[in-house]
Structure 1
Amino acid sequence: MPPSKRAHKVKNTTVQSSLDGQEETESVISQTKSEHRNIYYRLYTKEGPLESNNPIFSNDPFISRISSKSVRPPHTAASLKKCICKIEDVEGPQMGALYSSLSEREPLEDSARLVLRGNSESEPGPGSSEVDPIILVVDKGAAEKRPKPASNTGSNELPTWNSEREYIYYRLYDDDSEAISKTSFDENDSSLGRIDIFTIPPPHTVASLKNRLVHVEEVSSQNVQLLENEDGEVTLNDDDALTLLTDDVPGSNEDRPMVFTYTQTAPDKTTTPEIPSFSKRLKATGGWVVNARKSDASLRTGRRDVITSLAKDVKCSRSMTGQGGCHAGKFPDSWGQNKFTFNLDNILQQLEPIPDKQGTTGDAPQIAIRKTCKALSSVIAGVERLQISQTKSEHRNIYYRLYTKEGPLESNNPIFSNDSFISCISSKSVRPPHTAASLKKCICKMEGVEGLENCALYSSLSEREPLDDSARLALRGNSEPGPGSSKVDPVIFVVDKDTAEKRPKPANNPGSKELPTWNEQQYVYYRLYDDDSEAVSKTSFDESDTSLGRIDIFTIPPPHTVTSLKDRLVHVEGVAGSDVQLYKTEDGEVTLNDGDAIDLLSDDFPGLNEDQPIVFTYTRKAPGQTMASGIPIFSRRLTAKGNWAGAKLDATWHSMKTGEIFQTDGVQITFRLAMSE
């Protein structure tokens, strides 16, 4: 008898020793069939995910699977590529790149042998899990040529992909400030976007993430940058690897996003003209499915997704399968050293034991991560809210005032009803890294001011020198107040007068009456004199003392010197700028020099008190020079009997309030309001 037949006979004899061989025969066949397994895979081009012709989930059309028996032996990377390309109708498998995992940085060589059969838990082969499938990156041109798949009428019957979605969060900035992200999910924070990590093609590097964001946001690929966080101090290099399947990757938390910056008009290249400007926002009020298949880009009810995968954020002091009792948990290091407690028995009672291979649960139940997270979420919900609140508080308001060299300039976005020269922006609106130049660009954009080179930024009203464009600014956090953290001491933005005149007039704000009132007014008091004696001041506030005037300290542009105060008074009083002088007191013994600094934010500066004003003198006719013919002499006084917001209707008119005193030359003239034309 030939050895092969003898061996076969022995094998049959062994099988017959148990219930006439029936049960053991079925076991052998079952074990042999089990050597074939499913191979899960995802399709990509270099720009992002590619829909499969044979999706296996109703809400994720980019993942599919084949049986290992469909792959022609020997099982190599080349034979697996050919098989997938045939099923997906993709030509040119030699142009595709196969990665054994999402985390791999290099594609497989075509000759690489793959373990595609068997279900060994100790050594699972490539593609054995939906969570970590094989990746096939195909040529974009080949992907576009493949025939469109027939409509799958049974797609509604497919199961749902229930794996917890994980995102990369990022904040979007253009040249000047924050921009509206096309992937924004919070209507109150439109520059914050996110993308599913499974939409990023391998290899997972900064370069591949950049390419994906360029495609999603539809911006030019030139001059784009990724910064590690909103501080903007660490720039990520294109070759840096990103371990997106771990818990320690930039942008993994919503409250600590990465920063993605782009240039609106790159050198010698502009954004594709077919791409429209998306300036209006719509909020989905319900779900919507295209082709009976939910995709990651389809509309979803406008709500904030709840992330329950807390197991990766919480470290327990002992194993979850231990005995009961009250045990301490610990925040991650980034949360500080605070502690909280939870009752292990109560958590275990909420979990269903998972049977082992023998069908028994055992004394210590095995706990699924998902169920553990669900149980823990209710315990530390308050803690999570506290963490998010504390982190988001790193963003703060930056208060600023606008000026030309002659005086204050109205803001397009005032925050007080009685002071239209002060406004504020959020620190998140300023493009990182936070420098004087980036803050200037942001304010210019908000205020419609062109010509950044003609602007000066002062960190405070008390500063004598403007900031260098490269100066780094602490614009986040409230522990050590940075520039602009106070309404009383805002950042100061001085723009060129011609530039200010060219900016478009702000739209009339019908809600301005609803704004709060600014109650921090403080004045410099002065007495006005011409060549001969006291003169009637245009800012007088006491009809029995018309030469006593006052100006709000916040109307004086920096730097706060005698020169800037003089310039402001010349402008307010409408007098010639030559032969003007300031004296410290009415004694007239101490002349203030032009270069002297005046600390207007202190409690000790000349003119602080009404009964101790400074003295401002001017010459009606300087030697060899006459007063400008366009400046009339205002010798008559008018007292306002009502309120009128004329300046809001036409900038060439004055607004007035009841009791205010106006000086006039007595000549009656008639003009038409600009709005009435």
Structure 2
Amino acid sequence: MALRRFGTIFSKSSTKSSDEERSRLGRLPTYRTSLTRAPTYTTHAAGPSRSTDPEIDANLSAITEMSSVDMTSAAETSSIAGTITEATVRSGPRCVYYRLYTKDGAIESYNAIYSNDRSLGRIDAKDVAPPYTVILLKNFLCRIEGFKTSDNSNLYLSVPSYTPMEDDTRLSLVATSGPGLYEHEPVVLVVDSINEREAVKSSREKLRTKTNVGEVRYVHYRLYTREGALETNSPNLTSSNDHFLGRIFPGSVSPPHTAASLKAYLCKIEGFPSTENATLYLALSSQTPMEDSTHLSLLGQSGPGFSEHEPMALVVPSRRRSVSGPKRPLKKYKPEHDPHYVYYRLYTKDGAAKSRTSFNKGDSSLGRVDTLFVAPPHTLSSLKCHIATVEGISTLDMQLYEGASNDEPMIDDQRISLLATGYPGNNEERPMAVVYAVNKDPWKLYTLQHPTFTKKIQVTRSHQPSRKGWLDVKADEVLLTDGVETYTSWSPGDIYARYGYTAVNSAGKVGFVYGGKPSTYCKSYETSYR
């Protein structure tokens, strides 16, 4: 009997009658787990279709119908490519789970259901006005979250989706299956900005609150400037004292998950006002940064930054931050990994010099740096810049040799595999040689502490703000800067941005000066100082 029924189901005549009957009864499409076929939703960008053959889809739907009649269990089983997953079908009122974001990352929902995952909210599907379309669901979510309905907000079918759904797409919200059915597969609302959010009474008291969301996957990363590693604002201090290794919950990154959205979120939590000139590397060993449009798999069981031993790397142009990290008890850094060092001997033109990183009292010219503190890409230039920073010397008249017996210095753009085993200086018995020139030029002395300040600017208009963090400057005064335009505010309550540069004056004082729009106080003095 069972074989006869399956044979009938796969016949064309039965398929046609099943489709007609289902159309007459107005049955809605069945959503199951993330591994189960779902109807194709039209998005802003063309992509691979979820359905390939209408007859096959009809047969699969018929099998699902028969299974729902013959099986009374609350668990349904789906199998694709040999993988079997059991998912519990929700009983009782149909809910829609969603996550809330701006373009900079996750924000707290007024309908949060977890105290430690507040961007995840849920609503009763019956509260959405029919007909159930993307635009109506989007407008309802915006309203209950305190946002004005806007063409700039987007609704995604799920967190991993790369393109938003079209506004006129029909949704199945009141059936026992549909988008946002499971809390681990929520729909996603991305709003334009949080600045104009209105206070709305939360409906959280109507919902059951949980405090445990189970095991979560993190994205690990290390933070750098060109000079070397920076402490992160988001360390994992529960199991590590490494303040240079950060981690984030990937659900906090705004969809679509690309290198650009991840970079924007990391810059935000690390206190950098802009992603301009910031670069993101897939791994510490990567030689080229990722393109902003690169798609990233952040929510799977594997992906970039999945392991703290293989973190991603964010390289920012300056140490200047707009947000400081939380105050933490100071601990002496002790690497929990097996450290790999670059050993080198420090020389001037007159002979051996004392190294600031010396670890042997009987051999003061022998120094070393941890390879994890050298910024990607790992080239001789990045290694030279890091050594110059820790030694307080300038890269202007500095040369690196593979060994003291070598006659020719190494080339700046030469690649060095610092995470491998055979890089130059990997053994203290065969250290590299660093030769630098002692120079008493005051400008060059300032670059010892600020190796990236290589450009001169000239003040065109006197300005004495006498404020913390600002430089008092006079007309025609020459300053050194890194050439990266930044901005700050005049006071904590000031809503207007002041554009300019972080610079050092002839007295060695560092601070902010006007240099860009809307008012120009400085001009380029020369292309490059060094």
Q: Is TM-score (shorter-chain normalized) higher than 0.5?
A: yes
The reply on whether 1:509 has 2:332 as its aligned counterpart is no
Distance 1:586 1:517 in 2: 29
Deviation at 1:197, TM superposition (A): 0.7
Q: 1:631 to 1:193 in 2, by over 3 A?
A: closer
The reply on whether 1:177 has 2:102 as its aligned counterpart is no
Contact 2:126 / 2:174 at 8 angstroms: preserved in 1? no
Contact 2:272 / 2:320 at 8 angstroms: preserved in 1? no
Q: 1:410 to 1:592 in 2, by over 3 A?
A: same
Contact 2:111 / 2:204 at 8 angstroms: preserved in 1? no
SS at match of 2:444: coil
Distance 2:332 2:351 in 1: 45
Deviation at 1:561, TM superposition (A): 0.3
- When structure 1 is superposed on structure 2, of 397-406 and 481-490 the one drifting more is 481-490
Deviation at 1:220, TM superposition (A): 3.0
SS at match of 1:431: coil
Equivalent in the alignment of 2:295: 472
Paired residue total: 360
Distance 2:325 2:108 in 1: 22
Deviation at 1:227, TM superposition (A): 0.8
Distance 1:171 1:197 in 2: 15
Deviation at 1:188, TM superposition (A): 2.2
Question: Mapping of 1:154-553 within 5 angstroms?
Answer: 164-222=92-150, 223-264=152-193, 271=196, 275-276=198-199, 297=203, 299-300=205-206, 303-304=209-210, 396-416=217-237, 418-478=241-301, 481-497=302-318, 500-510=319-329, 518-553=336-371
Q: 1:277 to 1:420 in 2, by over 3 A?
A: farther
Q: Which amino acid aligns with 2:281?
A: Y
Contact 1:228 / 1:235 at 8 angstroms: preserved in 2? yes
Distance 2:391 2:334 in 1: 30
Contact 2:271 / 2:321 at 8 angstroms: preserved in 1? no
Equivalent in the alignment of 1:656: none
Q: Percent identity?
A: 37
The higher radius of gyration belongs to: 1
Contact 1:169 / 1:257 at 8 angstroms: preserved in 2? yes
Distance 1:603 1:169 in 2: 49
Q: 1:172 to 1:617 in 2, by over 3 A?
A: same
SS at match of 1:501: coil
Contact 1:168 / 1:196 at 8 angstroms: preserved in 2? yes
Distance 2:362 2:252 in 1: 50
Distance 1:432 1:304 in 2: 25
SS at match of 1:567: helix
Distance 2:96 2:217 in 1: 23
Deviation at 1:515, TM superposition (A): 11
Deviation at 1:452, TM superposition (A): 1.4
Of the three residues 571, 594, 603, the one matched with 2:389 is 571
Of the three residues 403, 417, 424, the one matched with 1:599 is 417
Of the three residues 331, 350, 372, the one matched with 1:554 is 372
Deviations 1:579-630 (A, max 9, x none): 31111123224532111101111111111112121111112249xx688345
Contact 2:146 / 2:199 at 8 angstroms: preserved in 1? no
Contact 2:388 / 2:448 at 8 angstroms: preserved in 1? no
Deviations 1:13-40 (A, max 9, x none): xxxxxxxxxxxxxxxxxxxxxxxxxxxx
SS at match of 2:323: coil
Q: Which amino acid aligns with 1:447?
A: E
Distance 2:101 2:199 in 1: 18
Distance 2:102 2:448 in 1: 48
Distance 2:253 2:352 in 1: 49
Deviation at 1:414, TM superposition (A): 2.3
Q: Name the structure with the higher strand share.
A: 2
Q: 1:535 to 1:505 in 2, by over 3 A?
A: same
Give ranges in structure 1 of 5+ residues lacking alignment.
Answer: 1-100, 104-162, 279-295, 306-384, 634-677
Greater relative contact order structure (CA < 8 Å, 6+ sep)? 2
Contact 1:220 / 1:264 at 8 angstroms: preserved in 2? no
Q: Name the structure with the higher helix share.
A: 1
Q: 1:447 to 1:400 in 2, by over 3 A?
A: same
Instruction: Could you list the structure 1 runs, at least 4 aligned residues long, displaced by more than 4 angstroms after superposition.
Output: 512-517, 629-633
Contact 1:220 / 1:263 at 8 angstroms: preserved in 2? no
SS at match of 2:276: helix
Distance 2:204 2:270 in 1: 35
Q: Which amino acid aligns with 1:503?
A: S
Query: What is the TM-score normalised by the length of structure 2?
Result: 0.62
Deviation at 1:234, TM superposition (A): 4.4
Deviations 1:325-377 (A, max 9, x none): xxxxxxxxxxxxxxxxxxxxxxxxxxxxxxxxxxxxxxxxxxxxxxxxxxxxx
- When structure 1 is superposed on structure 2, of 164-173 and 245-254 the one drifting more is 245-254
Distance 1:213 1:246 in 2: 19
Distance 2:120 2:169 in 1: 23
SS at match of 1:465: coil
Deviations 1:80-101 (A, max 9, x none): xxxxxxxxxxxxxxxxxxxxx9
Query: What is the TM-score normalised by the length of structure 1?
Result: 0.49
Equivalent in the alignment of 2:69: none
Q: 1:240 to 1:547 in 2, by over 3 A?
A: same
Deviation at 1:301, TM superposition (A): 7.6
SS at match of 2:298: coil
